[in-house]
């Protein structure tokens, strides 16, 4: 029986206690009196009955008011205090009970706050000791995480169920190219902790590779690895090397250790090392085609030339036939020459396609150019205005070759005796200036230098300066400084993306390791339970939020932004996020703009909902959906089912309903109020991704609180939420 029911019963009992004796006494006197006395009583009581009734009612009202006030101060106050104590003991250590209500309740709250303060001091001391003990282990994990991030090869680690446990930045970038919608929200929905690798690779192919490795392990194979080539859903050709993750290192030695050694060689997962060989395969195909063209095309031409040359050896050959055979030789030789030129051009293109672009410090590139020019060309160099913080993305070999070629031409044709370098930033580009003093240069000279194959110092290349610049996606032109009587070539190069740089602090900071590493997932297997009977702490979640043109989906309002993040193994993976603006193809409600801050011009050129939903559907696949006030967001998704053919039929949890389950006596269950109760700092509210991250942090805090109330599984959470008051809200 809850408190409200007890309050109603108390009011009824109070009313009976106040009116019951009066009524019973009056009835006893009435029925025990003689008829004449009854008429006399009626004459006496009749005129005073309304006054008595009013006094009774007034007394009852005063009594109800007193009981109601006592109920609020003591019963409801103590219940609210109990919920606050749970918050203070579990989700929010810094939370303290408000000193409200009568003195006795305030004294109890003050005592509880004092006990909580003592508890916090003890916990702080314990946590400090635990942190010291874990620091060495965390440093090892950080070094491993930073090393994985630095690897240029894509690496993915999975458990035996094919669930991804670990991956590096190179793998994330490569999987984006394989996405079903590469232009939407970064295209990263194929990879993530807890996702299945079978979304990319055929299950039977991986099973065959696993069987091969296990066979080698049983036969004490020295190198238990397996290699295979496969194609992705987007048509990319991938070369994969698989290696096992073993349970441990065997001790070896005596026969008593054989069982331990066998257990140590038991597979717990596997490592995939990926290379995208699509471009290499295409280049090799073009090379084979070039060789085929040279051999087959020139074979017949050589035969014709040989036959014509033999005919010309006859001394009595007619002059007309002699001229005809000479023409055959000229034509065939010309055709052979054209085929050789075409092959050489294709070879240069293939050479350009094989250039890798690497990230390097701009100052290091300038220093290398100075050393190379001074050593090989004997031309003095200097530098001016070098931005030491700039990073560039270049093929250093070909770019240095182009700089050497241009300095060599300057030295030979214009007698330049010194060159200078300048390096400055320009947004996403970098300006590299090659400066000299001397004669003026014509535009025709610049064009000829750009388009001629680079030859200098006894070396030659089929590439031109223009080829090098184009490969970098840059540009080059000539400028003059008339005041200082100087000229310079300005070369535009791509700047390295600062987000792609690895923070050196990752090697030393405990909390800084990449968030998509989770070694605890080796113990997790989805096959062990049915989804509804799985513990909330074991499930994988997609937490999402939408921003919309208005609040009425049934009246034509549309989604203008979707933001989502993921929880795996009880941890929020901020880097595995989904954020995309959407063109609603209708006007925004002016009243909504101050809430979400999205201006109409921000939506121009963005993809429409039919392009975005397939990518979000893939991002959220095989997970439980979570939102705050989920009925609102789900209604917008359901309105698009008939248009896109996509159904979000996975389980859904709502933090609004779960908050009402946890704290039914609290006045507000808004996102801000819940976050404040759980001691969460809100950043980026009223953006879809910002709200999704706050909702995810709230849900993580809720899991242990729900467990205290006996709500541990997905089924129990859904049933508890369905009984709450807010579950009746419809959109």
Give me the pLDDT at residue 704, please.
Answer: 92
Q: What are phi and psi of 514, to 5 degrees?
A: -55, 140
Beta strand spans in 427-481 (E): 429-437, 453-456, 459-464, 475-481
State whether 564 and 485 are in the same domain: no
Length in residues, the chain: 731
Cα distance between residue 413 and residue 448, in whole Å = 13
Q: Among this protein's residues, is 686 annotated catalytic?
A: yes
State whether 288 and 196 are in the same domain: no
In a domain? residue 470? yes
Give me the pLDDT at residue 580, please.
Answer: 92
Give me the pLDDT at residue 307, please.
Answer: 81
In a domain? residue 639? yes
Whole-structure pTM over 0.85, yes or no? Answer: no
State whether 535 and 570 are in the same domain: yes
State whether 65 and 157 are in the same domain: no
In a domain? residue 211? yes
Q: Which of 353, 373, 389 is the C-terminal boundary of a domain?
A: 353
State whether 572 and 623 are in the same domain: yes
Summarize the chain as % helix, strand, coil (round to 5).
55, 20, 25
State whether 244 and 257 are in the same domain: yes
Give the torsion sign (CA, 537, 540, 546, 551). negative
Q: Which of 311, 336, 353 is the C-terminal boundary of a domain?
A: 353
State whether 488 and 534 are in the same domain: no
Radius of gyration of the CA atoms of the chain, in A: 40
What CATH number is associated with residue 676?
A: 3.30.420.10
Q: How far is CA 216 from CA 210, 211, 221, 272, 341, in A?
A: 10, 9, 5, 17, 51
In a domain? residue 169? yes
Cα distance between residue 193 and residue 539, in whole Å = 12
According to DSSP H, which parts of 71-202 are helical? Answer: 77-89, 103-150, 169-177
Give me the pLDDT at residue 251, please.
Answer: 44
In a domain? residue 508? no
Cα distance between residue 330 and residue 320, in whole Å = 15
Check if the beta carbon of residue 209 is closer than 8 Å to that of residue 228.
yes
Tokens of 340: 């050789």
Give me the pLDDT at residue 309, please.
Answer: 82
Tokens of 615: 């990518």
Residues in contact with 524: Cβ distance below 8 Å, sequence separation at least 6, in sequence order: 159, 163, 194, 538, 569
Cα distance between residue 403 and residue 382, in whole Å = 14
Give me the pLDDT at residue 229, please.
Answer: 79
Q: What are phi and psi of 359, to 5 degrees?
A: -90, 135
Give me the pLDDT at residue 563, please.
Answer: 93
State whether 55 and 203 are in the same domain: no
Q: Which of 56, 89, 122 is the C-terminal boundary of a domain?
A: 89
Give me the pLDDT at residue 435, please.
Answer: 93
What CATH number is associated with residue 258?
A: 3.30.450.20
In a domain? residue 136? no
In a domain? residue 598? yes
What is the DSSP secondary structure assignment for residue 101, as one 8-state letter? Answer: S
State whether 272 and 294 are in the same domain: no
Give me the pLDDT at residue 442, please.
Answer: 81
Q: How far is CA 55 from CA 19, 52, 64, 67, 276, in A?
A: 11, 5, 14, 18, 91
pLDDT in tens, 450-493: 888 888 777 777 788 988 888 887 888 888 887 778 899 999 88
State the CB neighbour count (10 A cutoff) for residue 689. Answer: 22
DSSP letters for 199-252: GTS-HHHHHHHHHHHHHHHHTT-SS--EEEEEE-TTS-EEEEEEEEEES-----
State whether 337 and 362 are in the same domain: no
Give me the pLDDT at residue 517, please.
Answer: 46
- The residues pairing with 578 across neighbouring beta strands, listed in sequence order, are 564
State whether 461 and 539 are in the same domain: no
Q: How far is CA 202 from CA 172, 206, 208, 216, 478, in A?
A: 19, 7, 10, 22, 54
Tell me which residue has tokens 């010291």.
Answer: 132
Closest to 583 measured CA to CA, from 615, 549, 555: 549
Identify the active-site residue in 86, 529, 617, 686.
686
In a domain? residue 109? no
Range of the domain at 250: 151-276
What CATH number is associated with residue 373?
A: 3.30.565.10
Give me the pLDDT at residue 172, please.
Answer: 79
DSSP letters for 330-394: HHHHHHHHHHHHHHHHHHHHHHHHTPPPEEEEHHHHHHHHHHHHHHHT---EEEEEE-TT-EEEE
> Domain total for the chain?
5
Q: How far is CA 355 from CA 280, 450, 474, in A?
A: 11, 19, 15
| Averaged pLDDT in 10-residue chunks for the chain of 731 residues | 60 62 60 59 57 63 67 66 68 68 74 78 81 75 68 84 84 71 61 82 85 80 75 71 77 51 71 78 61 69 79 79 83 79 60 63 90 90 88 86 90 89 87 88 82 78 85 85 85 71 36 42 48 88 92 85 91 87 89 83 90 90 90 88 87 91 84 86 74 93 91 91 69 47
Cα distance between residue 340 and residue 405, in whole Å = 25
Q: What are phi and psi of 458, to 5 degrees?
A: 80, 5
State whether 75 and 157 are in the same domain: no
Check if the beta carbon of residue 226 is closer than 8 Å to that of residue 205.
no
Check if the beta carbon of residue 170 is closer than 8 Å to that of residue 155.
yes
Check if the beta carbon of residue 453 is closer than 8 Å to that of residue 467.
no
């Amino acid at each position: 029986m809850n408190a409200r029911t007890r309050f109603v019963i108390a009011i009824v009992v109070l009313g009976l206690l106040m009116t019951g004796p009066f009524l019973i006494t009056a009835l006893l006197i009435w029925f025990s009196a003689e008829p004449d006395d009854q008429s006399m009583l009626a004459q006496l009581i009749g005129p005073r009955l309304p006054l008595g009734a009013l006094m009774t009612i007034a007394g009852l009202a005063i009594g109800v008011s007193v009981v109601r006030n006592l109920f609020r101060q003591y019963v409801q106050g103590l219940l609210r205090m109990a919920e606050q104590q749970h918050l203070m003991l579990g989700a929010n250590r810094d939370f303290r009970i408000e000193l409200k209500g009568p003195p006795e309740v305030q004294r109890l709250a003050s005592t509880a706050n004092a006990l909580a303060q003592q508890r916090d001091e003890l916990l702080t001391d314990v946590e400090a000791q635990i942190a010291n003990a874990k620091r060495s282990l965390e440093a090892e994990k950080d070094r491993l995480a930073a090393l994985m991030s630095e690897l240029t090869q894509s690496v993915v680690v999975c458990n035996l169920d094919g669930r991804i446990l670990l991956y590096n930045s190179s793998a994330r970038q490569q999987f984006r190219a394989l996405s079903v919608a590469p232009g939407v929200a970064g295209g990263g929905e194929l990879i993530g902790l807890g996702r299945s690798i079978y979304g990319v690779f055929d299950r039977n192919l991986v099973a065959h590779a696993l069987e091969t490795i296990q066979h080698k392990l049983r036969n004490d194979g020295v190198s238990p690895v397996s290699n295979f080539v496969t194609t992705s859903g987007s048509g990319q050709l991938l070369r994969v090397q698989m290696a096992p993750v073993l349970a441990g290192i065997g001790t070896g030695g005596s026969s008593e250790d054989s069982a331990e050694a066998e257990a140590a060689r038991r597979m717990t997962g596997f490592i995939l090392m990926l290379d995208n060989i699509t471009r290499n395969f295409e280049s090799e195909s073009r090379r084979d085609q070039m060789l085929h063209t040279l051999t087959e095309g020139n074979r017949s031409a050589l035969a014709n030339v040989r036959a014509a040359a033999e005919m010309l050896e006859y001394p009595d050959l007619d002059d007309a036939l002699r001229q005809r055979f000479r023409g055959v030789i000229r034509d065939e030789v010309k055709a052979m020459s054209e085929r050789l030129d075409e092959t050489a051009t294709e070879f240069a293109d293939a050479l350009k396609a094989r250039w890798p672009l690497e990230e390097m410090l701009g100052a290091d590139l300038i220093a290398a150019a100075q050393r190379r020019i001074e050593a090989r060309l004997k031309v003095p160099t200097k530098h001016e205005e070098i931005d030491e913080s700039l990073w560039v993305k270049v093929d250093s070999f070909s770019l240095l070759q182009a700089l050497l070629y241009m300095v060599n031409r300057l030295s030979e044709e214009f007698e330049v005796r010194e060159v200078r370098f300048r390096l400055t930033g320009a947004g996403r580009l970098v300006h590299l200036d090659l400066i000299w003093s001397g004669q003026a240069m014509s535009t025709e000279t610049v064009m000829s230098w750009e388009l001629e194959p680079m030859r200098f110092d006894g070396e030659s290349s089929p590439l031109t300066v223009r080829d090098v610049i184009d490969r970098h996606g840059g540009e080059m032109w000539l400028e003059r400084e008339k005041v200082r009587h100087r000229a310079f070539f300005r070369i535009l190069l791509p700047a390295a993306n600062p987000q792609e740089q690895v923070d050196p602090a990752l090697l030393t900071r405990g909390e800084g390791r990449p968030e998509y590493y989770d070694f605890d997932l080796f113990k997790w297997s989805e096959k062990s339970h049915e989804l509804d009977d799985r513990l909330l702490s074991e499930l994988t979640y997609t937490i999402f939020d939408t921003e919309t043109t208005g609040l009425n989906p049934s009246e034509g309002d549309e989604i203008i932004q979707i933001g989502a993040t993921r929880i795996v193994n009880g941890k929020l993976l901020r880097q595995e996020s989904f954020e995309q603006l959407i063109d609603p193809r209708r006007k925004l409600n002016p009243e909504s703009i101050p809430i979400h801050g999205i201006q109409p011009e921000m939506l121009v050129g963005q993809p429409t909902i039919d392009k975005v939903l397939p990518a979000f559907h893939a991002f959220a696949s095989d997970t439980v959906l979570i939102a705050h006030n989920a009925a609102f967001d789900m209604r917008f998704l359901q309105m698009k089912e008939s248009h896109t053919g996509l159904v979000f039929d996975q389980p859904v949890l709502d933090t609004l309903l779960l908050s009402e389950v946890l704290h039914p006596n609290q006045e507000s269950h808004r996102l801000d109020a819940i976050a404040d109760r759980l001691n969460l700092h809100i950043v980026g509210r009223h953006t879809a991704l910002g709200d999704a991250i706050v909702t995810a942090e709230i849900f993580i805090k809720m899991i242990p609180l729900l467990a205290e109330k006996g709500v541990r599984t997905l089924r129990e959470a859904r049933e508890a939420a369905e009984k709450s008051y807010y579950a009746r809200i419809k959109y």
